[in-house]
Amino acid sequence: MQYDQTTFALSAVSLDGCPGDSAAEVAFAGRSNAGKSSAINAICRQSRLARTSKTPGRTQMLNFFVVPGVAGRYLVDLPGYGYAKVPLEVKEQWQREMQHYLNGREQLRGIVLLSDIRHPLKEFDRQMIDWAQGAGLPLHLLLTKADKMKRNPAHNVMAEVRKELSGRGALEAQLFSATAGVGLEQVRERLDSWLGG
């Protein structure tokens, strides 16, 4: 897949607004400060593809990015969970639409879940893992900001997370850092396997 030629396609506020030509999609999910947009930018070797902000919670819609190479392949940046400074009713609406997308989008091939390695597997992360397992969807967990932790402690955290995830279906975990380039090839290979067929 030609990730370095990925371009923004559209933003959707509901399932009805999703691309009609999509054949396969991978959704990026995580708390608002987990680094979803930074991860998408690093994977696609672009600095401004997905919008990043110092204010968590700026992603408020389903943002679709088209990946060239095979027709109808998309990466989807989902609204972050947690920190957005918006009214509760707006936040609840985002969550409803995200659930509609996750439950109703037949083109969804897998979920990349991002979790800060310094605070791994919070309640939302576990809910996403449970949902993916129940839906029979593969999930690839990125333990982000791995550059913020020394190597041995980072590997210890990953070992603990993998132990917790063992026996829970098609779940994988890896270290990742968008700024230091840790784990980029590994996650690209996973995306290739989901989007390539």
Q: Which of 23, 176, 2, 3 is nearest to 107 (CA)?
A: 23
Which of 86, 92, 75 lies closest to 140 in space, CA to CA? 75
Give pLDDT, residue 82. 61
Amino acid 134: pLDDT: 85
pLDDT tens per residue across span 73-107: 999 998 877 655 666 776 677 777 778 888 889 99
Specify the pairing of strand 73-77 against strand 62-66: antiparallel
CATH superfamily of domain region 3-195: P-loop containing nucleotide triphosphate hydrolases (3.40.50.300)
Sorted by where each begins, the domain ranges of the chain are 3-195
How many CB atoms neighbour CB 5 within 10 A?
A: 13
Mean pLDDT of the chain, nearest integer: 87
Q: What percent of the chain has pLDDT over 90?
A: 56
pLDDT of res. 57: 43
Q: What is the pLDDT of residues 57-71, one digit of tens each?
A: 445 678 999 999 889
